[in-house]
Every structure is written in C-alpha cells, then in structure tokens.
Amino acid sequence: MFKKISLLKPLPVAVMLLFTLNACETPDQDWTSLLDKNLSQWEMYLSYSHKPGYHGKMPLDENGDTIPPIGYNRNVNNVFSVIEENGGPVLRISGEIYGCVFTRREYDNYDLKLKVRWGNKKWDPRKDKLMDSGILYHSIGECGLDYWRSWMRSQEFQVMEGHMGDYWSGRNTAMDIRAFIPEGIMNPVASEKQPFISLGTGTQYDGFCLRSEDHESPDGEWTELELICFNGKSLHIVNGRVVMVLQDSRYLENGKTIPLTKGKIQLQSEAAEVFYKDIRIRPIESLPAQFKTYFE
C-alpha cells in the first residue's frame, strides 16, 4: 500500500532544490531537429557516377561532348532516402552518385550534432578505398564547381573510416588550424597543443589536415559528431573528444581574402553507403565556456 502524502506538507529543502534545478535544465529547448521523413529542410544535388582515373574535368560522352550533371532535386536511383529505426528517421545516402543533400537555409554561430554509421556498399571510384562522406559547412554558391563537380564552396569536417574529423578545404578556401607543420611527405596533424598554421588557398600548405586522434566508434555502431562554429572559429568533435581546433575561415576570390563564416550545411554522397540520424542544431551567442581555452 502506498502512503498518502498531503500536498500541504512542506517538502524537504533538498527536494525543492532538485525541482528547481530540473525546472532550469531544459537541454533540448534550443535544439532544432533537421531530419524528418520528408527531408523537408533539405534540398539535393547529384552530379556523376565517377569512374576510376577521374581527373577533375567535366565527363565526356562517346562523341566527346560534355555530359551535364544530373542537377538539383532529381533523386536518381533513390540516392537519398529516409528509413525508420526505433521509431525515428534515419537518412540513408547510397553513395552511388556523387552529390549531397544541403540545408535550405544558411546558418552561422551554431552547435550541430548528428550520428553517423557506415553501410556495406561502395562504388567506383572508391571500391578499393576507405568509406567516405563529409559534413561541408559554411557552404555558399552553386553546387558542382569543385574538383568532383558535386559540391558548393565550403569547409569540410571529414567523415571517413579512421578519419573522422579531418579537415579539407573546399574551392579556394582556407583556415588556420592548431597542428604540427608538415614535413616532406607527411601531412599536418591536428594538436590542441600546437600553434595555429594556415592551410589551403593562399597559404604555403595544401588544404588538408589529419585529426589529432581516432575516436570513431567500432564498426556497426553509431559515432556522434559535433561541429561548433562561432565567428569564423570551429571545433571538430568526435564522440565528445575535440580532434581539431580551427579559426579564421575564409576564401580567396580575385586575389581578395573574404571571411567565410556562414552558409548552408551539406552532407556528401561520395561512393559509400552511409546513414545519418539525430541531426540537430542550435544557435549559440558565444563559444561554450569549456572550449574557449582552445583559442587562447
């Protein structure tokens, strides 16, 4: 038998304090989900099913004529689809054709979280390579002007087997990253203990940097990724661990350096089957306190 408690009886101070704290803690109130069964907050772009040996030029047909890309919002072969898992939506990207889904709106100064898991299928030209995708942020302009004729100008949070959190510069973009300087054939490697070095267009180094450590979940499990962007600064976070610290996001146009601090978000289709879920975003008015020291 349950004991009846009078509603007029004063509650212990500890219980009242717990109620007060719970009332103040609203961890989900600022988050906006970006994924539903209809992909209502996304558009899509598809370019080509690239072949081995591709070298960045517009593909040609047997007569030597330029083949046009598939283009916007034509979901050929159902490259992008939403399935249900445990009652929630999951975005499946088959990877069969290079391209992306991208947000309808632009974002700046935000915290983005999502979970990723690999599928089983790979396609040319990556059948003998690691499974690959990516989060492209501060995306501006038209799709299809990059090397693979598939994406907008952007900065990249790499999503690749063993390389979660690497950095790639997009078309004519650059950033400063806390990293060891490259030497010989070695790539720069991110380290929060190192000074910032400039990578990408207009710098002495290529636009690529390895994440500091591998924190990807075991095969078949979901990996949580987090991207924090604020005033040109960004953090690549994998399963709660910071793997790269970046600042001074920019691009070069006609010899002029232009800040790149806002834009759309793209998720790549890049010759590998990949699943994304729990995609959510919230605005921020400053860097979270626990991360400010990374930039000091």
pLDDT at 20: 39
d(CA 50, CA 60): 11
CATH number, position 267: 2.60.120.560
Is residue 16 situated within a structural domain? Answer: no
DSSP characters over 159-177? EETT-TT-EEE-TTEEEEE
Q: Say which residue, 18 or 210, is predicted with more confidence.
A: 210
d(CA 135, CA 155): 8
Is residue 10 situated within a structural domain? Answer: no
pLDDT at 8: 36
Kindly tell me the burial class for residue 177, based on how many C-beta atoms sit within 10 Å of its own C-beta (0-12, 13-18, 19 or more).
buried
Is residue 18 situated within a structural domain? Answer: no
Q: Which domain holds residue 168?
A: 30-295
Is residue 160 situated within a structural domain? Answer: yes
pLDDT at 191: 98
Q: Terminal CA-to-CA distance of the chain, rounded, Å? A: 60
d(CA 193, CA 234): 16
Instruction: Retrieve residue 64's tokens.
Output: 């030597």
Would you give the DSSP letter of residue 137? Answer: E
| 15-19, 140-144, 289-293: least confidently modelled range | 15-19
DSSP characters over 8-49? TSPPPHHHHHHHHHHHH--TTTT-EE---TT-TTEEEEE---
pLDDT at 24: 39
CB atoms near residue 250 (< 10 Å): 23
pLDDT at 28: 60
| Number of domains into which the chain is organized | 1
pLDDT at 22: 41
Nearest to 260 by CA among 119, 129, 139, 128: 139
Task: Calculate the average pLDDT of the chain.
Answer: 92
Is residue 78 situated within a structural domain? Answer: yes
| 7-11, 151-155, 211-215: least confidently modelled range | 7-11
What percent of the chain shows pLDDT beyond 70? 90
**243-295 pLDDT, tens per residue?**
999 999 999 999 999 999 999 999 999 999 999 999 999 999 999 999 999 99
Average pLDDT, stretch 156-178?
A: 98
**pTM > 0.85: yes or no:** yes
Is residue 13 situated within a structural domain? Answer: no
Is residue 20 situated within a structural domain? Answer: no
Is residue 223 situated within a structural domain? Answer: yes
pLDDT at 27: 53
